[in-house]
Amino acid sequence: MNVLLTGGAGFIGHHMAEHLLRNTDCNIIFLDRLDFSGNLNRITEIKDWEINKKRCKWIYHDLKAPINSQLRGQIGKVDVIIHMAASTHVDRSIADPMSFVMDNVVGTANILEYAREIEVSKFINFGTDEVFGPALDGEIFKEWDRYKSGNPYSATKAGAEELCLAYHNTYKLPVIAVHCMNAFGHRQNPEKYVPKTIANVRDLKEVIVHASPDCKTAGSRFYIHARNIADAVLFLMDKGEYGDKYNIVGEKEVDNLTLAKMIADFQGKPLVYKMVDFHSSRKGHDLRYAISGEKIKDMGWEPKVSFEQSLESVVRWTLDNPRWLLA
């Protein structure tokens, strides 16, 4: 089986590649433009990379442009497409929304056209919980609940997902859509909350915790390690139904102050922190996101490694590999 993995040099993408190489005999065709999010050093650190690299091929391409016939020939035969390439940073989407429209909507349209032309056997689109908007008062969204995007990033991801479903409904493209909650893990971009907190705790710097307007309630997420996400995607490659959506969720909700305290405890250091009103400090962000993972759980999938084990592993590994943190 030949898998075309878009965004394979990205944070979640490289964990997906590692999981495929370790748990299947497939070949991987990486399609990436290697910009801000892509980092080839992630790939070379994949376990047993020297042994498995013969199963991999690199194609440099920016999906804002269609995949032409010459590029199609370089890619070769493709059986499955896992589409993870995207611009993802909320703050940047607010500053430059059109670049996110081009990357996430136009880019997805171009890979869908390619998938339709080659009659791919399976297309998995990687989405986000943020399309549902804020989850208030204990609300937890299911896969087919209404969307209420709170920023240009989530709106473009919603648009990309709707295009995927339209291609399934119109052209019978075998699409499976997933929503994933906040990922963390090894080799994450240091701008993200977990690695940034690891670095700040290590250096005894102040950790900013986004909170309610009265600064008494910290924002919360169902955090999940990227390796568990990759495991769920592999599960859905076998068990998922075309034209359907699936939420991939961590096993428990954790507020960001508790998360920061756990990171400090794993380091044996005090937590210096400040609670700030998230609306005043960050436009377009929501205090709480929550989606239900019951659907995929009922199908037989749950995270194989617990949140606590995953977080401790990431903290200790990151401290031993400080090149993945900001100076």
Q: For this structure, is 130 an active site residue?
A: yes
Q: Which of 32, 130, 161, 231 is catalytic?
A: 130
Q: Which of 114, 153, 167, 223 is catalytic?
A: 153
Q: For this structure, is 153 an active site residue?
A: yes
**Following DSSP, what letter does each residue of 52-73 receive, concatenated?**
HGGGEEEEE--TTS---HHHHH
Q: For this structure, is 143 an active site residue?
A: no
Q: Which of 18, 32, 129, 231 is catalytic?
A: 129
The answer to whether 121 and 174 have CB atoms below 8 angstroms apart is yes
Of 6, 10, 1, 3, the C-alpha closest to 192 is 10
133: left (phi over 0), alpha (psi -120 to 50) or beta: left
By DSSP bridging, strand 56-60 and strand 27-32 are: parallel
d(C-alpha 57, C-alpha 18), whole Å? 14
d(C-alpha 179, C-alpha 289), whole Å? 12
CA 313-314-316 angle, to 5 degrees, is 65
- Backbone torsions φ then ψ of 188, nearest 5 degrees: -75, 150
Per-residue b or e along 100-110, where b marks 16 or more CB atoms closer than 10 Å to that residue's CB? bbbbbbbbbbb
For helices 193-202 and 256-267, angle between their N-to-C axes, nearest 10 degrees: 40
Residues noted as catalytic: 129-130, 153
